[in-house]
Structure 1
Amino acid sequence: MTSLDEARAHLAKAREFLEAAELTNDLQLFNAAASNAVTSGINSKDAICPALTGRTEKSDNHAEAVAELKGSGSAGRDSSSTLSRLLKLKSKSQYQAGSVSASEATKSVGWAGRLLDSAQAVTPS
């Protein structure tokens, strides 16, 4: 698989998870919405990096993912703070006993949408 094929595959997943985030947010399933938004955002990062640099790292370390995005060029640098905000909701939406609020879920869907827009802008069709 070429880096462009990889970017396109992650872009498709980012779209799918964003749609799931929007639907679950509409159903007031806020943890699911935020979790899907986080997954969408990670896939957008995994589309942006190979589209711009020819590769992406797979790491469970959130700081490394943000740093990789930041180092991938101006589009990545501009998106890195959005990914950082989004990743801060990963544990709360997926692992912790406390729940994501309606406001946090709505914000996470918006952040994931911005990351997807950035990924689409740098990934050739």
Structure 2
Amino acid sequence: MTTEEDVLTSLDHYEHAVIRVAGEFRAHDAPVEPRHVRLDDLDSIVVDYGTAGQCRTYSLGGLPAVASVEEAIVELTDLLQEKVLEAGDTAWPGCLPGHRHPPSARLVSGAAVWTCPEHGTTLARLG
């Protein structure tokens, strides 16, 4: 069971992570961008995001408790990458040459990284 302290610690990790994830998404011209994280009325962690160049904000809730900023980066990236894929860019932000699938956000040796889901190759650090 997640305690109130776990939720607040996780929220702090997500607050730091959203800055790095936003930079990553901007660097790769993603059509969505995370804006901030918050607690909703049920004390669930929610990320607010928008589409690039627009003011409207959308929310995705139910982010899991995390133990580090790096883990929070992976969770946010994975969640928001789905929104990029739904927007039509099915390979964002690009995997290995010749691969038509998107890379996956993973935690490798304590660091948030992009990996090839087919080969497991680490491509780049996230954020």
- Which protein has the bigger helix share? 1
Asked which structure has the greater CA Rg, the reply is: 2
| TM-score after normalising by structure 1 | 0.32
- Which protein has the bigger strand share? 2
Higher relative contact order (CA 8 A, sep 6+): 1
